[in-house]
Amino acid sequence: MNSFEFFAPTSVDEALDLIVSKGEDAKIVAGGTGLVNMMKQRLVNPEALISLGAVRGLDGLEISDGKVRIGALCNHQALVKSAEVGQMLPLLAETYSKVATVRIRNFATVGGGLVHGDPNQDPQVSLLALNADVSLRSKSGTRTLPLKDFMVDYYETAIRPDELLIDALVPVLPNNAGYAYLKFLPRTADDYATVSAAAVTVLEDGVLKDVRVAFGSAAPTARRCQETERMLTGQRPTPEALRAAAEKAKDLADPVSDGRGSAAYKKEMVGVFVRRALEKALERAGGAVNGR
Ligand SMILES: Cc1cc2nc3c(=O)[nH]c(=O)nc-3n(C[C@H](O)[C@H](O)[C@H](O)COP(=O)(O)OP(=O)(O)OC[C@H]3O[C@@H](n4cnc5c(N)ncnc54)[C@H](O)[C@@H]3O)c2cc1C
């Protein structure tokens, strides 16, 4: 690793001033779990690090107008432990609990994870299914983007070099919603997913009123499965309907072969895990799949 200058601003404004004055030679660091690995591998060689660790007011959870605002510096384990998240966004608590190990979760932050942009990460999949937005702030103001537009490509997001990710804004799940995040881990329990899937389902009189589905680890970013959702919305969730809709999700898969599996295998697993996530979400919504 090269030597670098280290800055520890205590406010967002101070951090934004430093980002502008240090320019492209500097990198923001939050938990450091992604960036420091990249520095060790010399994939990035910043001359300055601007740490967010001492910035005040970015690690809170706020609930208003049916939404949970999660500060960028909230660490993963804080979300797993939060009673509010457990009650209002149980899908998120379930998802963050499946990230790596508690040691990593104690450092890795919500904002750092989203900007890191590794398609094998877990949180993006469920945040997509939860219709999350992200807020980005620069010296010229704050803008809010749907997460689906924030994620661009492998390790690439829509954040500009002069911006900080400030928080994620997540609509609360209705009480009667079923939910599930499934992570396929054929190697070790602390690995990145071979394939993952998230589902949210709301049933009314046995009919699917709301269905949201996303998968991860099988395309350049996590992907929302709109055609799958369209096929199921307004339908009774029969095994045949679920199978056909889950198969449709495979059309969106564009995986790469790696140590976790071949591209063809991952594509097949997208269909399997989307179906299983839907089944588990339906079970939790109080409606086991008809015909079973
Ligand atoms: C061994 C290991 C296993 C892991 N396994 C998993 C796993 O199974 N699933 C999973 O989802 N994740 C996993 N992770 C975590 C994940 O890959 C990232 O390392 C982590 O989410 C990054 O969070 P961070 O706060 O440490 O970010 P950092 O490493 O500090 O930063 C990451 C990137 O975000 C930028 N950044 C950070 N915060 C901000 C901000 N607020 N505004 C603008 N830019 C910002 C940095 O400049 C950098 O480019 C694992 C990590 C390790 C080390």
Per-domain residue ranges of the chain = 5-51, 61-171, 178-284
Question: How far apart (Å, rounded) are the C-alpha atoms in residues 212 and 224?
Answer: 8
The architecture in CATH of the region 61-171 reads: 2-Layer Sandwich (3.30)
Contact 197, 213 (CB under 8 A): yes
Distance 252 CA to ligand 1 centre (A): 25
The residue whose CA has the least distance to atom 40 of ligand 1 is: 165
Question: How far apart (Å, rounded) are the C-alpha atoms in residues 130 and 78?
Answer: 19
Q: Name the pLDDT band for 221 (thresholds 50, 70, 90).
A: very high
Structure pTM? 0.96
Atom of ligand 1 nearest to the CA of 29: 30
Same-fold call for 5-51 versus 178-284? no
The residue whose CA has the least distance to atom 4 of ligand 1 is: 100
Contact 113, 76 (CB under 8 A): yes
Mean pLDDT over 160-179 rounds to 96
| DSSP states along 233-284 | TTS---HHHHHHHHHHHGGG-----BTTB-HHHHHHHHHHHHHHHHHHHHHH
Question: How far apart (Å, rounded) are the C-alpha atoms in residues 65 and 67?
Answer: 6
Q: Name the pLDDT band for 186 (thresholds 50, 70, 90).
A: confident
What integer best gives the mean pLDDT of the chain? 96
Mean pLDDT over 192-202 rounds to 98
Q: Name the class of domain 5-51.
A: alpha beta
Distance 31 CA to ligand 1 centre (A): 7
Distance 116 CA to ligand 1 centre (A): 5
Pocket of ligand 1 (CB under 6 A): 27-35, 37, 52, 72, 99-100, 104, 107-109, 111-113, 115-116, 118, 121-123, 159, 164-165, 192
Question: How far apart (Å, rounded) are the C-alpha atoms in residues 176 and 167?
Answer: 27
pLDDT for residue 288 is more than 70? no
Site to probe by mutation for ligand 1, drawn from 69, 109, 124 as the one with most ligand atoms within 8 Å of Cβ, is 109
* Phi and psi angles of residue 128, each rounded to the nearest 5 degrees, phi first: -65, -45
CATH number of 178-284: 3.30.390.50
pLDDT for residue 292 is more than 50? no
The residue whose CA has the least distance to atom 11 of ligand 1 is: 121
Mean pLDDT over 85-92 rounds to 96
With residues binned 3-state (H G I as helix, E B as strand, rest as coil), the percentages for the chain, rounded to 5, are 35, 25, 35
Question: How far apart (Å, rounded) are the C-alpha atoms in residues 109 and 240?
Answer: 40
* Ranges of H-type helices in 144-193: 147-150
